[in-house]
Amino acid sequence: MSKPEIHVFVCGQQRPAGHPRSSCGEKGAAAVLQMFSERLIARGLFNKVSLVTTGCLGPCRAGANVLVYPGGTLYMAVSKDDIEQIIDQHLIGGEPYLDKVAPDQVWG
């Protein structure tokens, strides 16, 4: 395996139903991870992009959350329907997919 240029972290946090913070698992994170994996393989990007499931990335109520490095771009409320845009615009094109980028105040 070659050294990846891009790291994509998909939150896989699963909390019990009704938890006050919610979780990305409740918001379809497993399907997002699966779709990313399928599309990266289909597009021949598995040597360029490292796809990793993680624990909590922070803004749980806004999940499913995806974090892309380099750059530290956090995507919120990601669904399977957003994966192609993130791949095309960000992972290939180098420009974040602005429709799903978390505002700066999420980090503060």
Find residue 52's DSSP bridge partners: 9
User: Considering only CA atoms, which of 80, 76, 67, 101 is closest in space to residue 32?
Assistant: 80
- The strand pairing partners of 75, in sequence order, are 66, 101
The pLDDT of residue 38 is 97
Cα–Cα dist 4/51, whole Å: 10
Confidence of residue 2 (pLDDT cuts 50, 70, 90): confident
Rounded to whole angstroms, the Cα distance separating 37 from 75 reads: 17
For the four alpha carbons of 73, 74, 77 and 83, in that order, the dihedral sign comes to positive
Q: Please give the domain boundaries of the chain with CATH numbers for all domains.
A: 7-103 (3.40.30.10)
Among the listed ranges 5-9, 66-70, 88-92, 100-104, which one has the minimum average pLDDT value? 100-104
Q: In this predicted model, what pLDDT tens digit does every residue of 20-41 receive, in sequence order?
A: 788 888 888 999 999 999 999 9
Whole-number Å distance between alpha carbons of 59 and 52: 18
What pLDDT, in 10s, does the model give residues 28-76?
Answer: 899 999 999 999 999 999 999 999 999 988 887 788 999 999 999 999 9
Look up the pTM and report it: 0.91
For residues 76-99, average pLDDT: 96
State the alpha helices, DSSP H only, in the chain. 29-42, 83-85
- Say whether pLDDT at 16 is over 60: yes
- Between 15 and 65, the more confident residue is 65
